[in-house]
Amino acid sequence: MSSPPMDAPTLASLELVPYISDRGLLPQQFQSKVGVYAIFDEATILQYIGYSRDVYQSLKQHLVRQPTRCYWLKVQTVEHPNRTILDTIRSAWIAENGTLPPGNQPNETSWTEAINVKQQMTPEEQEHYSLAVDEITQIKVLKQVARRLEAEVLAILQNRGVQEDLRFNPKMKEAGLLDLK
């Protein structure tokens, strides 16, 4: 793998930052910042490495998609971003880690894409969906499932003291997807 740019620090040299502050907020200093980030679980085990044009917004999305795996992070912002630099840093951190983090393995979509509510339906919800006589009834079932999952995620985050304003996209719920606006 290629080495990081000369001014890019190693993952080990970066400060571990709490994902959620004692005031219940995500790190505001990363709003509108381009960068590479590493997310760690409660035991500080690396879970995912990604990059974004707005690190703060990406961290919010990851928090609702993986609320039990986002406790710590390390971030390297980039002043003059391009995909090659971001990819190089990300690859160097993965190599430094020695193994591919669980979130970067085949189930990476659980970190990077909206929650597909169809995959998390209860048997009863699956039955209601399959017995729906028309598309409108199916949409109603999908929205009910999405609201249930949203409530579960928000309950986990509330227990963790999160105070962020998290608004889910209502239009996506109709399509069976749960994601932030």
- pLDDT, tens digit (0-9, with 9 covering 90-100), for 34-86: 999 999 999 999 999 999 999 999 999 999 999 999 999 999 999 887 899 99
Bridge partners of residue 72, in order along the sequence: 18, 40
Alpha-carbon span 9 to 89, nearest angstrom: 9
In degrees rounded to 5, what are phi and psi of residue 156?
-60, -45
Is the per-residue pLDDT at 30 higher than 50? yes
Token duo for residue 18: 């709490």
Alpha-carbon span 121 to 118, nearest angstrom: 5
Instruction: Please give the full DSSP string across 11-70, using - where no structure is assigned.
Output: TTTSPPEESS-TTS---GGGTT--EEEEEE-TT--EEEEEEESSHHHHHHHHHHHSTTT-
Task: Please provide the CATH number assigned to the domain covering 17-112.
Answer: 3.40.1440.10
The answer to whether 90 and 48 have CB atoms below 8 angstroms apart is: no
The pLDDT of residue 6: 52
Average pLDDT, the chain: 93
Considering the chain, tell me which residue range(s) the CATH 3.40.1440.10 domain(s) occupy: 17-112
Region 136-158 average pLDDT: 96
